[in-house]
């Protein structure tokens, strides 16, 4: 049985989760940029950082993939917004529907992890995007802001890290259930 962990990470938090998961399960982890064919893998675990709702590299990596009987797909998003907030989880799942065909999404097990951000390390493009979003949110009345937006305003310009490797435990268990 061959399994693979594929990750899409721009600034490293998703890569760190993927590497930890690899260490704990013995499944090799590769960046989506280096991933070869997935069709011969029994379990595919995809971890991707959230960027404006989209999961980095996900659509590109899974394009054209159709799961055969017995093949399993585990999707893990890594973002700043707290996934224990139902509203945030709902938003992530809605945007996953835009990125993947229903046949794949219906068969995937989905998990959400929290990453971090260091504004000093952002690319010029990302910093500009965040600034524009911050400015527009500042003009939105507090009571109209979503939990995600409030969290964004609180962490704007800072270095925060919510990475918690213990949150990998349910994912490890899901992988183990598929391999028994
Ligand atoms: C331009 C930009 C857009 C982002 N959009 C989202 C988002 O829509 N939802 C979210 O939860 N986090 C968002 N984030 C935060 C990232 O998902 C978070 O920093 C994550 O840890 C990045 O993973 P990486 O370090 O593996 O690239 C965004 C960050 C940047 C820089």
Kindly report the pTM of this predicted structure: 0.96
Domains held by the chain: number: 2
> From the CB of 13, is ligand 1 less than 6 Å away?
yes
Q: Do 94 and 106 belong to one domain?
A: yes
Of 99, 112, 110, the residue nearest 62 (C-alpha): 99
> From the CB of 126, is ligand 1 less than 6 Å away?
yes
Q: Do 65 and 134 belong to one domain?
A: no
Q: Do 21 and 75 belong to one domain?
A: yes
Give the per-residue pLDDT at 164: 98
Q: Do 80 and 109 belong to one domain?
A: yes
Instruction: Kindly list the averaged pLDDT for each block of 10 residues, start to end, along the chain of length 180.
Output: 94 98 97 93 97 94 91 97 91 94 95 97 97 93 86 94 98 90
Boundaries of domain holding 151 = 118-160
> From the CB of 80, is ligand 1 less than 6 Å away?
yes
Give the per-residue pLDDT at 37: 87
Residue 154, helix vs strand vs coil: helix
Q: For residue 158, what are the contacts with CB-CB under 8 A and spacing of at least 6?
A: 117, 119
**Which CATH number does the domain housing residue 84 bear?**
3.40.50.360
Q: Do 34 and 50 belong to one domain?
A: yes
Q: Which uninterrupted H or E stretch holds 41? A: none
Left (φ > 0), alpha (ψ -120 to 50) or beta: where does 55 sit?
Answer: beta
CA of 68 to the centre of ligand 1 (A): 32
Q: Do 69 and 109 belong to one domain?
A: yes
> From the CB of 79, is ligand 1 less than 6 Å away?
yes
CA of 44 to the centre of ligand 1 (A): 22
Q: Do 135 and 109 belong to one domain?
A: no
Give the per-residue pLDDT at 34: 96
Q: Do 123 and 110 belong to one domain?
A: no
Q: Do 104 and 171 belong to one domain?
A: yes
């Amino acid at each position: 049985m061959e399994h693979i962990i594929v990750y899409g990470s721009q600034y490293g938090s998703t890569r760190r989760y993927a590497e930890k998961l690899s260490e704990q399960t013995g499944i090799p982890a590769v960046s989506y940029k280096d991933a070869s064919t997935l069709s011969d893998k029994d379990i595919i675990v995809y971890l991707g950082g959230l960027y404006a709702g989209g999961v980095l590299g996900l659509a590109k990596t899974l394009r054209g993939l159709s799961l055969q009987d017995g093949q399993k797909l585990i999707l893990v998003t890594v973002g700043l917004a707290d996934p224990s907030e139902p509203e945030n989880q709902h938003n992530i799942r809605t945007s996953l529907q835009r990125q993947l065909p229903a046949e794949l999404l219906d068969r995937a097990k989905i998990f959400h992890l929290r990453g971090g951000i260091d504004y000093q390390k952002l690319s010029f493009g990302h910093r500009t995007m965040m600034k524009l979003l911050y400015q527009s949110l500042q003009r939105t009345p507090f009571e109209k802001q979503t939990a995600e937006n409030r969290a964004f305003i609180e962490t704007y310009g800072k270095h925060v890290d919510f990475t918690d490797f213990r949150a990998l435990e349910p994912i490890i268990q899901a992988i183990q259930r598929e391999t028994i």
